Amino acid sequence: MKVLVIGSGGREHCLVWKIFQSLLVDKIYCAPGNGGTFEIAENVNISAEDIDSLLEFALKEDVDLTVVGPEIPLVLGIVDRFEEKGLKIFGPKKELALLEGSKVYSKEVMRKYGVPTADFRIFTEAEEAKQYVSQKGLPLVIKADGLAAGKGVIICESQDEAFKAIDSIIVDKQFGDAGNKIIIEDLVDGEEVSVLIFTDGNTILPLVSSQDHKRAFDGDNGPNTGGMGAYSPAPLVSEESFNQIIKKAFKPLIEGLRKEGKVYKGILYGGLMIKNNQPYVLEYNVRLGDPETQAILPKLKSDLVEVMLNTINESLSDTVLEWDDRFCLSVVLTSGGYPGHYEKGNQIFGLEELKNMKDIYVFHAGTKTLDNKIVTNGGRVLNIVSIGANIKEAQEKVYQAIKIITFDKMFYRKDIGYRALQRVNL
Ligand code: GLY
């Protein structure tokens, strides 16, 4: 089989690495890929958002399966376009990619199907939104409806912050049309966890739980980022609460949609807050998480391509996922300054040495090859991943491995997994 993976981050390198292990696969393309995918796939210089060129490429090369990493192509309707041409592609269609593409749609569907989520109201006018904030009191969460590169969710502790957020989204159009509508919702405090499922619209096949670290600095301080590290499983989620999450956060939604004639196929990612052992859905994503994937897929023993094909063919009821039950932890190495301004083009040293280390994996994100060298090419540069018998072992191994990697202005968090470690030490 020929497989095309779309995207260029750590998640996509991890996908390519896992797909490479499948006995069903002879050839992998990655569009546009990075310095890591370059080693095991053929990088194709097409942007993940250029659906016309991706389709043309897949038809020309007789690609048997396309796997979409990021959300934008899904929200743009890549699945519908490929399927119209008879191509197999993994992910939901455009109308269901709205679960991530429109927070308003997502919250309305949650309400419709009784999925536990924070109470909310929708606004299109700044004055009405401000009036609501004054009546309701703080804290509140203000969200732009559409995709906003992870920046469209603002936690407001004071009225001043809330009014500023409303003005910047609705009046100043900080996120363009993504801010035509806003959601104002109650703040649910607690600890956040990511639970992802494979579903073919009937069967729900959960992946192992995970947690990521979104803040730039140790102790979960500093600005929000795309994610500075992740681990799996999340000790926060007991077996019982995991079953509750599947029962309350996923089952009613998948069943409800199916009854409407909407068959959700692909990965559905629930970003959940756990409060008093009860799950609240903060958001759905219609794809694998980044960096969660880098902490989940190294634990998966089953053939990922087989699972994806069974999802597309609606035969997940016969599929079983097998997992390595050890602990997996991933730390993101970034270019200093990220998520603000950072340099590109700095040579990375030590990658060859890491290839020989047992239970250590390296997934590239913002890297590229230049004159046979690997150089930095983004804010999040590398994911260094380790599997260990327990959290402590995985954490120690990963930080030992990181000592071998150097590049100018390299930065990373030194405490990935600290919450998990505190929890198991309780
Ligand atoms: N780790 C957060 C995300 O993938 O959206």
Q: Please give the average per-residue pLDDT across 168-191, as a whole number.
A: 96
Which pLDDT does position 141 carry in this prediction? 97
CA of 259 from ligand 1 middle (Å) equals 29
Q: In what order do the strands lie in the sheet with 65-68?
A: 42-43, 27-32, 2-7, 65-68, 89-90
- CA distances, 123 to each of 63, 115, 128, 151, 292 (Å): 44, 21, 7, 19, 32
Does a structural domain hold residue 400? yes
CATH number, domain with residue 77: 3.40.50.20
CATH number, domain with residue 157: 3.30.1490.20
pLDDT digits (tens, 9 = 90+) for 400-422: 999 999 999 999 999 999 999 99
- Identify which of 224, 269, 286, 293 to mutate to test ligand 1's pocket (most ligand atoms within 8 A of the CB): 269
Q: How many domains does the chain have?
A: 4
Which pLDDT does position 277 carry in this prediction? 83
Does a structural domain hold residue 345? yes
pLDDT, the chain, mean: 97
By alpha-carbon position, which residue is closest to atom 4 of ligand 1?
Answer: 289
CA of 3 from ligand 1 middle (Å) equals 24
Does a structural domain hold residue 286? yes
Which of 151 and 37 is assigned the larger pLDDT? 37
CA of 70 from ligand 1 middle (Å) equals 10
Which one of 283, 318, 353 terminates a domain?
Answer: 318
Q: Is residue 131 located within the same domain as residue 162?
A: yes
Residues within 6 Å of ligand 1 by CB: 212, 227, 285, 289-290, 292
Does a structural domain hold residue 245? yes
Q: Among the atoms of ligand 1, which is closest to the Cα of residue 290? A: 4
Q: Is residue 215 located within the same domain as residue 260?
A: yes
By alpha-carbon position, which residue is closest to atom 3 of ligand 1?
Answer: 289
CA of 394 from ligand 1 middle (Å) equals 22
Which one of 318, 351, 366 terminates a domain?
Answer: 318
Does a structural domain hold residue 105? no
CA of 194 from ligand 1 middle (Å) equals 9
Q: Please give the average per-residue pLDDT across 347-352, as a whole number.
A: 98
pLDDT at position 27 over 70: yes
Q: Among the atoms of ligand 1, which is closest to the Cα of residue 285? A: 5
| % residues pLDDT > 70 (the chain) | 100
* Residue 86: band (very low, low, confident or very high) from pLDDT cuts 50, 70, 90: very high
pLDDT at position 338 over 70: yes
Containing structural domain, residue 248: 191-318
Q: Please give the average per-residue pLDDT across 205-232, as a whole number.
A: 97
By alpha-carbon position, which residue is closest to atom 5 of ligand 1?
Answer: 289
Q: Is residue 304 located within the same domain as residue 354?
A: no
CA of 192 from ligand 1 middle (Å) equals 12
Q: Among the atoms of ligand 1, which is closest to the Cα of residue 292? A: 1
Which pLDDT does position 151 carry in this prediction? 85
CA of 131 from ligand 1 middle (Å) equals 32
* Residue 426: band (very low, low, confident or very high) from pLDDT cuts 50, 70, 90: low
Q: Is residue 312 located within the same domain as residue 215?
A: yes
Which one of 318, 348, 364 terminates a domain?
Answer: 318
pLDDT at position 32 over 70: yes
Q: Please give the average per-residue pLDDT across 21-28, as a whole number.
A: 98
pLDDT digits (tens, 9 = 90+) for 124-179: 999 999 999 999 999 999 999 999 988 899 999 999 999 999 999 999 999 999 99
Q: Is residue 373 located within the same domain as residue 392?
A: yes
CA of 104 from ligand 1 middle (Å) equals 19
Q: Among the atoms of ligand 1, which is closest to the Cα of residue 214? A: 1
Question: pTM for the whole thing?
Answer: 0.97
Which pLDDT does position 425 carry in this prediction? 76
